[in-house]
Structure 1
Amino acid sequence: MKKGLFKKKIFIFFLSIMLILMFAIVLLYYYNDKKVEANQSSLEIEQFANAQFNKIDLQLNIALNYLMNIKSHIQIEKFAIGDTLDFYNVLKIQNELKKNILYIDNLDYYIGITKNQEEALVITPFTTTNQSKYYNQIGISEDKQEWLKNKIKDMKYNREYLLVTGYEYCDESNDRVLNYILKDDYFGNGECVFIVTIKEKSLFSTLLEMNKGSWFINREDKIIAKHKNMDNESFLNEDEIINYLKSNNNSIEEKEFNLKGFKGIIVPSNVLDWKYIYVESKPSIANKILDIFIKLLIPYILLIIISIYITIKITKKLYEPINSMVNSFEEFTEVSEVDEFEFIKKKTNEMKLQNKRLEAMLLEDKNIINEKALKDLLLGIKDIHKAKFSDSTIPEGKAIVCILEIWKNEEDLINENIVLVKSNLRAKAFELTNVEFVNVDYKTCALIFNVNTAQEAIKIIKDAVEEVEENFEIEITAALGKIVDSYEKINESFKDANKIMEYKFALGQKFILTSEELKSIKDRTYYYPLGVENKLIFSVIEGNIKEVNTVITNLVEENFILRNLDNKSRKGFAFSLFSSINRILQELKEMPEDFFGDDIQYYDNFITLSNEKDIITGIERLFKIMIAKINEDKDEDNGRLADEMMNYIHENYHKDISLNDISEYLNLSVKYSSLLFKRVTGSNFKEILNKHRIDRAKEILEKNPKIKIGELANLVGYNSSNSFIRVFKKYVGISPGIYGEKFN
Structure 2
Amino acid sequence: VTKRRGKDGYVLRSSGLNFKFLYTPNNATFYQMLFLKSFVIFVGLALLAMLIDYSIRLYRERKDLIGEINSLSVIDRRKNLRDFVLGIRKMSEVGELTRKVKALQGRKLKIVLVEIFDSDDEGLDFKNFTLAREYLKESLSTESVYEHIDIDYKSIAFIIPEESDSVIEDAFHFILENIGQKYSVELIAAVSNEFVSVESFPQEYITCKKILDAKFMAKGRKVLFSENIKSGKLILTYPIETEAKLVSKLLNGNLQGAKKIVDEIFIDRINPEAMDKKDIKEFTGLLYNTLNRVVVQLKEFESSLQCENLDIESITKTGDLDKIRVIFNELITEICKQKKTSEQDENEAIREKIKSYIDNNYHLDFSLDNLADYLGLSFKYTSILFKKVMGDNFKNYINMYRIEKAKEILKEKKEIKIKDLAEKLGYNSSNTFIRIFKKYEGISPTQFNPEEILEK
Output the TM-score relative to the length of structure 1. 0.30
Larger radius of gyration: 1
Task: Tell me the TM-score normalised to structure 2 length.
Answer: 0.45
Would you tell me which structure has more helix in proportion to its own residues? 2
